[in-house]
Structure 1
Amino acid sequence: MRASIGEYRAVEEAAMKFVKSVAEGDSRYAKELFVDDAVLFGYLDGKPEHGSIEQFYKNVDTVDAGKDFRARIDIVDIEETLAVVKVLEEKWGGRIDFTDYLLLMKIDGKWKCVAKAYNQNSNTIQNGK
């Protein structure tokens, strides 16, 4: 059964907390979205990053997104208590383009993120030179 437009709006509103944290360089909004034991997987400048969502908070709090940062949210799917959201980011920190996938669960009536996996576009990877 297709989710209602209201559920799509609720999921988008939840995902906006992620985007707002990244755009403002302040993890407090994302901390409202992610469960405490959420996980993170991806590669940052070619180095694997995995583990606690705390690493994402650290990255957000220490890197200014920059004036050219842009983001777009696409809701991939919603199934009753599960949602998959794709977030496109351009020019984070003035140089990095990401594609993020957020896995959300409806917990106690609220959409919460339990996992974040991401890809850094290869043309934005710095090799430490």
Structure 2
Amino acid sequence: MKKTFLIAALLLFANSITFAQDDLKAVRATLTDYMEGTSKGQIARIKRAFTPNAALYSVNPDGTEKRLPIATYIGYFKEGQARDRKGKIISVDIVNDAAHAKVEIISGNTRFTDYMLLLKLKDGWKIINKSYTRENIN
């Protein structure tokens, strides 16, 4: 009886590791769609990464909240028009169907630090909100 329980527990543990690895791979793919879509002017990839109701949040120079709907943000990019943007994933944390990630984007002399909130929806992992800050790097 104990052997059967131990084997079942080990199989369950191995299965959960596989699901966790699959989720991590899927979250990273969503973040890559965002980073490469914005750097290569691939509008479909940007749209695939975000939910239609997503928004971007930052701080205005006067210290107030700035909210930018995702449709407005996507409108800043032109299909096929590459930009000087290099992105990398700094960290990802996943619990069940929710995740957050930290992404760094270098564009010219500016470093953007993005904090993404993601949910695992019926059509996969999607970014539901992004908050970000920027700093000059010389």
TM bracket (short chain):
0.7 to 0.9
- Residues 12/21 of structure 1: CA separation in 2 closer, same or farther (3 Å cut): same
Corresponding residue for residue 115 of structure 2 = 101
Greater helix content: 2
Cα distance in 2 for residues equivalent to 1:60 and 1:98: 17
Equivalent residues of 2:35, 2:86 under 8 A apart: no
Equivalent residues of 2:102, 2:114 under 8 A apart: yes
Considering Cα pairs closer than 8 Å and 6+ residues apart, tell me whether 1 or 2 has the greater RCO: 1
Matched, 1:65 2:83: yes
**More displaced stretch, 52-61 vs 25-34:** 52-61
Matched, 1:16 2:32: yes
- Residues 120/53 of structure 1: CA separation in 2 closer, same or farther (3 Å cut): same
Residues 35-62 of structure 1, C-alpha deviations (whole Å, 9 max, x = no match): 1111110147x47631311232123339
Once the 2 structures are TM-superposed, how far is the Cα of residue 76 of structure 1 from its aligned partner?
2.8
Corresponding residue for residue 6 of structure 2 = none
Cα distance in 2 for residues equivalent to 1:58 and 1:96: 21
Runs of 4+ in 1 over 6 A off after TM superposition: none
Task: Give the number of the structure whose alpha-carbon radius of gyration is greater.
Answer: 2
- Residues 109/26 of structure 1: CA separation in 2 closer, same or farther (3 Å cut): closer
> 2:128 is paired with a residue of what secondary structure?
strand
Corresponding residue for residue 104 of structure 2 = 88
Equivalent residues of 1:21, 1:60 under 8 A apart: no
Equivalent residues of 2:119, 2:127 under 8 A apart: yes
Residues 10-58 of structure 1, C-alpha deviations (whole Å, 9 max, x = no match): 11011111011121133321101111111110147x4763131123212
Equivalent residues of 1:8, 1:75 under 8 A apart: no
Equivalent residues of 1:85, 1:101 under 8 A apart: yes
Look up the equivalent residue of 1:5 and give its one-letter code. Answer: Q
| Alpha-carbon RMSD | 2.6
Equivalent residues of 2:26, 2:125 under 8 A apart: yes
> 1:100 is paired with a residue of what secondary structure?
strand
* Corresponding residue pairs, total: 118
> 1:86 is paired with a residue of what secondary structure?
strand
Q: Provide the TM-score with structure 2 as the length reference.
A: 0.72
Structure 2 segments unaligned to the other structure (5+ residues): 1-15
